[in-house]
Amino acid sequence: MKEETEWTMEIHSRSGWFNIDLAELWRYRDLIVLFVRREFVAVYKQTILGPAWFLLPPLFTAIVFAIIFGSIARIPTDGQPPVLFYLAGIIAWTYFSNCMTATSNTFIANSGIFGKVYFPRLVIPVSIVIVNIFSFLIQFGLFLIIYLYYLISGAPISPNIWLCLVPFLLIQMAALGLGMGILVSSLTTRYRDLTFALGCGIQLWMYATPIVYPLSQVPHQWIWLISLNPMTAVVESFRFAFLGSGMIQSWQIVLSLIITAFILFLGILFFSKVERSFMDTV
């Protein structure tokens, strides 16, 4: 008598916009760890300075910003040391932009492996976001060293209870970067023009975020508009937590969280829809 085979896993086609199995990511957590290690090693294994490249760009950028926007353009920094003021905004923005840029190329860059074996396609963008957390922590360490120097030197900075929110700000930046990245990745399978527009768009987005200027310098009638940028509340909250300066309000934080959640939901929605048929268009 023929024995009946018991399947441990069943792979089947999905239909509909809301057929999303996020629990599947947990079942493939070992694969996520493997991709995290691959991404980290592939980028820095053959470099001379290695992880030092995490530190040099934000440090040099903060110094250049301090010279151009602080000394030459004389844009106020709310009474804070210019290098510290710019560095706080730069490391937050860098993490978000790196997550968005790296995940925006998911389908095109990995079309070869996607066409050979099945696994949840969301594994790769999630692993990229995790890899960038390590780079953020290294840059954050640099920020803390400079921060402690100014704190000991008696600079007018005052850390406060908002420091407890920093891990949640990191989660929000990860969610926003992931959501925007996979949304763009889903659209670039059909519209390759977005690949070329992304670099310009990120630069414009950066200047629409209070990184080289404090939110207090924005005219009152335009506060609502710049607050529609979810990174505005993130950067201002990050600065306020460490420096004690800024004009962040609760409604801006709530608005930022709502927009971030919407973008993440929209990105996962489009990503799950496109992953079923993207091989026909890539």
Q: Residue 271, class by beta-carbon neighbours within 10 Å (0-12 exposed, 13-18 middle, 19+ buried)?
A: buried
* Residue stretches of the chain with pLDDT short of 50: 1, 280
Range of the domain at 43: 23-272
Q: Is 15 part of any domain?
A: no
Number of compact structural domains in the chain: 1
Is the Cβ–Cβ distance between 278 and 107 less than 8 Å? yes
User: What phi and psi values does residue 177 have, to the nearest 5 degrees?
Assistant: -65, -40
State residue 189's pLDDT score. Answer: 74
State residue 106's pLDDT score. Answer: 79
Q: What's the angle, vertex CA 159, arms to CA 154 and CA 163, rounded to 5?
A: 155
Q: Is 14 part of any domain?
A: no
Instruction: Please give the structure tokens belonging to residue 116.
Output: 């050979």
State residue 257's pLDDT score. Answer: 96
Q: Is 280 part of any domain?
A: no
Q: Is 17 part of any domain?
A: no
Is the Cβ–Cβ distance between 135 and 54 less than 8 Å? yes
User: What phi and psi values does residue 261 have, to the nearest 5 degrees?
Assistant: -65, -40
State residue 172's pLDDT score. Answer: 96
Say what the pTM is.
0.86
Q: Is 278 part of any domain?
A: no
Q: Is 13 part of any domain?
A: no
Q: Is 16 part of any domain?
A: no
Q: Is 1 part of any domain?
A: no
Distance (Å, whole) CA 197 – CA 184: 10
Residue from 53, 86, 80 nearest 68 by CA? 86
State residue 265's pLDDT score. Answer: 93
State residue 19's pLDDT score. Answer: 61
